[in-house]
Amino acid sequence: MRIDAVTMTAIAAMAMGLPLARAAWFDNTEIKGDLRYRGEYIDEEGKDERYRDRIRARLGLTSKVNDEIKLGLQLTTTESKNGNGDPISGNQTLKDFGSKKGVFFDLAYFDWKPAALPGISLTAGKMKNPFVCVGDYLWDGDYTPEGLGLNYSVGGDVKLLANGGYNWIQERSAGDDSMMYGGQLALSVKTGDNASLMFGGTYYGFTAVEGEPVFDWQSAYNAYGNSTKSVVDGTTTNKVYANGFNTAEGFVQVNFDLGIPVAVFGSYAVNGDADEDETGYMAGFRLGLAKEPGSFEFSYDYRRLEKNVFPGAFTDSDSFGGGTDAQGHKFKVVYQIHKNFQSAATFFLNEKKLEDSHDYNRLQVDLIAKF
């Protein structure tokens, strides 16, 4: 083995206890991660009760490439099927004789903030959702879209936010690609030392959806509550979307202080491409903020999603077990045990199917550690 002069110098420095100069990338890089252990109970009318434990582990880094560009990477556990990872969940159920758990890229992007265009941020790759989302009733919080995101903000106490997205949904080698083109305008107003108001609207336009196979990462033709029709091709019967999705959403959130932080929020959405079952909404509040050891947080919301308000493949995977055509309550309490270590309990009291409904209840108890 040949040892060059640089290596010899490093070995000598360590032997003499001298500090080594760190590479520039080390000082410009932040590494973070978290582990969630979850106990879960599901009671759906007409099915056996289910108990299971699950984990979600994530490890990521962000690194400053230069004065304008930041790089982000993150790995996550997730269930997998046919080589694909679940797009809206990082959970892995503990099962299968202690088998090894799959890890996928959850984030892989760069974020460019050009100095010549103050307030502008262009993100490319697999990224965090570039849109302001009041709640997770349309987009699951674990969904990381792929493509381009554009964010612009200007102002101080009164701030204008403009966000856009060009996201790949389904690339087809022999047919039109399904894309999502979104645009959003919002106004954020600071009304006091601990008070603010934000309101705005978003348009989500999906292309090449109606008449195309449903978006199902497991290839099981699951429509996640959306209306479908069957198309026969030879000896094969395919389940395709009965309508497209061009969904407009309005949202508002008010933050203030009553001795504890309080937030009140709501959203309403309608799909202009559907003739029926085209609306959805969510309204709720949060009391407290679990941040310092010993602090609590409680939140509640009610959500209702008609069949065709939004592609069910992307909605919250916990409420109703995922998808649309459902409604119900979500209660959550969080307690900060120590710095970077907290517990949480979430209870869903839901109804699946808005016509001829049946009960769907779900309890999740979490321990979460992060660094």
| DSSP state at residue 194 | T
Give me the pLDDT at residue 26, please.
80
Q: Give me the residue label for tokens 């560009």.
A: 69
Amino acid at 12: A
The reported pTM is: 0.90
Rounded Cα–Cα distance for residues 293 and 290 (Å)? 8
In angstroms, the first-to-last Cα distance of the chain is 38
Give me the pLDDT at residue 95, please.
93
Neighbours of 219 (CB within 10 A): 10
Q: How many domains does the chain have?
A: 1
Give me the pLDDT at residue 221, please.
86
Give me the pLDDT at residue 237, please.
79
Print the domain residue range for 84: 5-370
Rounded Cα–Cα distance for residues 265 and 262 (Å)? 10
Q: Give me the residue label for tokens 């310092």.
A: 292
CATH of the domain at 252: 2.40.160.10
Give me the pLDDT at residue 279, please.
98
Rounded Cα–Cα distance for residues 324 and 273 (Å)? 16
Q: If 0-12 CB within 10 Å is exposed, 13-18 middle and 19+ buried, where does residue 97 land?
A: exposed
Give me the pLDDT at residue 19, please.
60
Q: Are 251 and 258 in contact (CB under 8 A)?
A: no
Neighbours of 292 (CB within 10 A): 8
- φ, ψ of residue 206 in degrees (nearest 5): -100, 135
How many residues belong to the chain? 371
Q: Are 63 and 70 in contact (CB under 8 A)?
A: yes
Rounded Cα–Cα distance for residues 111 and 114 (Å)? 10
Rounded Cα–Cα distance for residues 153 and 228 (Å)? 40
Give me the tens of pLDDT residue by residue for the chain, a chain 371 residues long.
455 655 555 555 555 565 655 667 788 999 999 999 999 999 999 999 999 999 999 999 999 999 999 999 999 999 999 889 999 999 999 998 999 999 999 999 999 999 999 999 999 999 999 999 999 999 999 999 999 999 999 999 999 999 999 999 999 998 999 999 999 999 999 999 999 999 999 999 999 999 999 999 998 889 999 999 998 877 777 899 999 999 999 999 999 999 999 999 999 999 999 999 999 999 999 999 999 999 999 999 999 999 999 999 999 999 999 999 999 999 999 999 999 999 999 999 999 999 999 999 999 999 999 99
